[in-house]
Structure 1
Amino acid sequence: MPTAFLSIGVLAAVLALATVRPINMGVLGLVAAFVVGSLAGGESPDDVLASFPADLFVVLVGVTYLFAIAKNNGTVQWLVDATFRLAGGRTTVIPWAFFLLSTAICGIGALPPAVGAILMPIAMSFAAAHGIRPLLVSILIGLGSTAGSFAPTGLLGIIVHGVQEDNQLATDPLILFASTFLIGTAVAVATFLLLARRQKSTAVRPGKVRAQDGPGAATVPSTSTFLTLQQGLTLLGFVVLTIGALVLDLDIGFLALTVAAVLALAFPAASRTAVKEVSWDIILLVAGILTYVGVLQRNGTIDWLGASVATVDSPLLAALLICLIGAVVSAFASTTGILGAVIPLTVPLVATGEIGAIGFVAALAISSSLVDVSPFSTGGAIAMANAPETERHVVYRGLLRFAGAMAIAGPLLSWSILVAPGWL
């Protein structure tokens, strides 16, 4: 299909040009969406912009604006200090606390982007304040989402079960959850050992600094444990944001903007410079790339890739290729959407009798979700947007490398354990 080859070639060119030249990849993504959508697809500019991720735009603006206000009025620092006290000064405990929080919240039905939007800014602030690598906490929050999202009560788990039933595929919710949880946790442990190997777990007494202990050492905060009125209302805003997004299923972007607007009206001094602290460069990058991916979905490139792989003579090889495609595409698009589109492609392979539906779908779920901290995903974008400015390039490159590694290792690992043996 000429259109598919053109679309894939343009995407590769965008990635390459943004790597070798100092230009925002989002700008190239928007140009590519216009050129390919107009020339190859006959789309109007309105059609091209139909895939502009307006919901993600609102989430990123709302969350980064709210947390900019919280940083300016001292609320984020208060949370950082309180968390540090609870950890007893052991910085290595904190990434795992965020991992477990992300797992638990996703396991009770929250979408990973909502959890990342709530936890990531606080985690990144803590990392910046106490010598923990921002890349480490961002990856562990993302992996915690993978470990919990496919629980029987997790939203992704519910969606996968529904798609399996609609396509008359065998399903086992507990095996799906156990496999995603165990592999997600194993990857988290490996990542922690790799990235935290130079950080020492150190408990320090209040007011003491132990510089000789390296970046893992920090001072137990000596700031006041009492909240000002402004900080108390900001914390209340966080509670409203959490309950509204996770319990009432309200849009987290608009809810964050609402809370931020109320705080800005009540305390204008702390919010005067907050808009300037919104990470517009990150928002442009993500929005541009996802707009182009939307063009690829409409012109049939994604469907063509999946259908082409499904015609491979060896069902086992075809299963591996589908997992690889799911991983790569999910790094740029919605995991939920990819699973809904790709799981039906498993039907002809399962019908051969050489592939088990339960193991194949679990492998596909793992492959598609381990890359969710890609810089082009909501979680990765929020991580970059909230990382210290001096660390953003490091976080961007680290997340890109991690997602690239998981796009290969995830499918190979899950396929070799869950598909190739034929026991599921």
Structure 2
Amino acid sequence: MSVQIITIIVLAVVFLVATVLPVHMGALAFVAAFMVGAFVLGEGKDDIVAGFPGDLFVILVGVTYLFAMAKANGTVDWLVQAAVRLVRGKIALIPWMMFLVTALLTAVGAVVPAAVAIIAPVAMGFALRYRINPMLMGLLVINGASAGGFSPISIFGSIVNGVVTRNNLPGDPGMLFLSSFAFNLALSAVVFLLFGGRDLLRRNADPVTENQPQDGTDGTGSTDGTGGAGGTAVIAPAATTAVTLNKERLLTLTGLLVLAGGALFFGLDVGFTAITVAVVLSLVSPKGAKDAIGQIAWPTVLLICGIVTYVSLMERVGTIDFLGGKVATIGIPLLAGLLICLIGAAVSAFASTTGILGALIPLAVPFLLTGDIAAVALVIALSVSSSVVDSSPFSTSGALVVANSRETERDYVFRGLMRWGFSMIVIAPLLTWLIFLAPNWS
């Protein structure tokens, strides 16, 4: 058996084991890099760690550090409350406001599951209070996270753009972000129409009381899923403590704007800029930064660094060129592109989207270098296909929505998200293929 085949089998085992057992995929990837490097290739420690992505490490630590400070000092809560105030009693706008707030959080650096974890309880509480279908609210939160997730300063965007740069591929961070946002926005419009949005357009703010049935039924908790309500197991309070824009939160908002402007218009490194802003904020307000270091997304850091380190080993032994050659032998570039997107969507529905993005783009590099398909188009198609399936209840985002649904409706939400998420495994790659690959954009 060739070394290339061995590395592919080991990578598949890493994804399989991490999916069915409670073992961290990033830690498994590091172990795989060590075992294959030391015992199959005879490499030393320096060779094995040569593929460690120092640039991505700084980015992941920097943006999650800054976001943790924004959460701790109440800036995130202020943004959520400000967004809700903009609704002004228009029930139909509440799901869209949750979409935009979640997109904003991921766009400025929040890890997708973290953003969903913050907004889902709030959103599902509003769903319960205003009799909004929980599928509508949950999917718009998840889609919002994916929509903002590919901004140039976001986690997903940083990973994809970093992988593209390191492999000397043509990239377009702005187009990646706009394409992902537009796709998720359109997908959310479909969700709005399918799950009771038209009914919301005819209603004003009429929150239910604690003694009223809240599921659109006779109070038994059953629902047909066509336009009922949903939410958390606890009634959303009529009013929450208002968060004011104090000096600390104003400085945090300014810092986020500096990070975005520096990265977008002045080419500043996202990771180092984010750490600089976070350190400045910690100097100005040490109390608010006290626990931020512990809130850095270390599991995500471990995940992507482990996967990229192992993929770098695969590159060194020629596995990437080997797979690229196999894809090229298909003879039909558009079919090969579709297959790559289908693989990304299918695996991502069960495994980590972050890990998939770090692994599949390098595997497609040899195929992209042939020039038969525009690299930017395939990267966008693969990124979108691999992220919209996060609505699966087996992904972290989908599971968070299920967990924050009202107990009597969790089964309905779980089954609904499973049907929707699994349908996206096929629909998303086909749509992205038709939009980005079939026209053969240059």
Number of aligned residue pairs: give it.
371
**Structure 1 counterpart of 2:413:** none
Q: Distance in 1 between matches of 2:84 and 2:178?
A: 32
Q: Distance in 1 between matches of 2:423 and 2:320?
A: 21
Cα pair 2:314 2:320 within 8 Å, conserved = yes
> Which residue identity does 1:343 align to in structure 2?
L
> Which residue identity does 1:46 align to in structure 2?
D
**Structure 2 counterpart of 1:229:** 247
Q: Give how far 1:7 is off.
A: 0.9
Q: Which secondary structure does the structure 1 equivalent of 2:109 belong to?
A: helix
Listed as ranges, the matches of 1:301-340 within 5 Å are: 301-312=319-330, 317-318=335-336, 320-321=338-339, 324=342, 331-333=356-358
Q: Give how far 1:221 is off.
A: 5.4
1:247 correspondence with 2:265: yes
1:74 correspondence with 2:74: yes
**Structure 2 counterpart of 1:48:** 48
Q: Give how far 1:231 is off.
A: 2.0
Q: Distance in 1 between matches of 2:418 and 2:12?
A: 15
Q: Give how far 1:226 is off.
A: 3.9
Q: Give how far 1:189 is off.
A: 4.1
Give identity over the alignment, percent: 38
Q: Distance in 2 between matches of 1:79 and 1:188?
A: 21
1:370 correspondence with 2:374: no
**Structure 2 counterpart of 1:21:** 21
Q: Give how far 1:273 is off.
A: 1.9
Cα pair 1:124 1:134 within 8 Å, conserved = no
Q: Give how far 1:229 is off.
A: 1.9
**Structure 1 counterpart of 2:281:** 263
Cα pair 2:338 2:430 within 8 Å, conserved = yes
1:137 correspondence with 2:141: yes
Q: Which secondary structure does the structure 1 equivalent of 2:370 belong to?
A: helix
Q: Which secondary structure does the structure 1 equivalent of 2:47 belong to?
A: helix
Q: Distance in 2 between matches of 1:243 and 1:250?
A: 9
Unaligned runs of 5+ in 2: 126-136, 154-159, 215-229, 349-354, 405-409, 411-415
Listed as ranges, the matches of 1:110-259 within 5 Å are: 115=107, 117=109, 125-131=118-124, 136-143=140-147, 185-190=185-190, 204=205, 210=209, 213=214, 214-215=230-231, 223-224=241-242, 226-259=244-277
> Which residue identity does 2:358 align to in structure 1?
A
Q: 1:361 to 1:411 in 2, by over 3 A?
A: farther
Q: Which secondary structure does the structure 1 equivalent of 2:357 belong to?
A: coil
**Structure 1 counterpart of 2:36:** 36
Q: Give how far 1:239 is off.
A: 1.8
Cα pair 2:180 2:380 within 8 Å, conserved = yes
> Which residue identity does 1:215 align to in structure 2?
G
Listed as ranges, the matches of 1:272-351 within 5 Å are: 272-312=290-330, 317-318=335-336, 320-321=338-339, 324=342, 331-333=356-358, 341-347=366-372
**Structure 2 counterpart of 1:93:** 96
Q: Give how far 1:32 is off.
A: 0.5
Cα pair 2:37 2:313 within 8 Å, conserved = yes
Q: Distance in 2 between matches of 1:219 and 1:46?
A: 56
Q: Give how far 1:60 is off.
A: 2.4
Write out per-residue CA displacement over residues 358-409 of structure 1, whole angstroms, 9 at most, x where no aligned residue.
Answer: 7x9846742344324788xxxx99x89xx89x88xx9xxx999999876654
Q: 1:186 to 1:27 in 2, by over 3 A?
A: same
Cα pair 2:381 2:437 within 8 Å, conserved = no
Q: Give how far 1:148 is off.
A: 11
1:12 correspondence with 2:16: no
Q: Distance in 2 between matches of 1:272 and 1:57?
A: 22
Q: 1:196 to 1:273 in 2, by over 3 A?
A: farther
TM-score normalised to the size of structure 2?
A: 0.64
Write out per-residue CA displacement over residues 25-49 of structure 1, whole angstroms, 9 at most, x where no aligned residue.
Answer: 2111101012223344443322222
Write out per-residue CA displacement over residues 319-346 of structure 1, whole angstroms, 9 at most, x where no aligned residue.
Answer: 5445556777993327876776533335
> Which residue identity does 2:97 align to in structure 1?
I
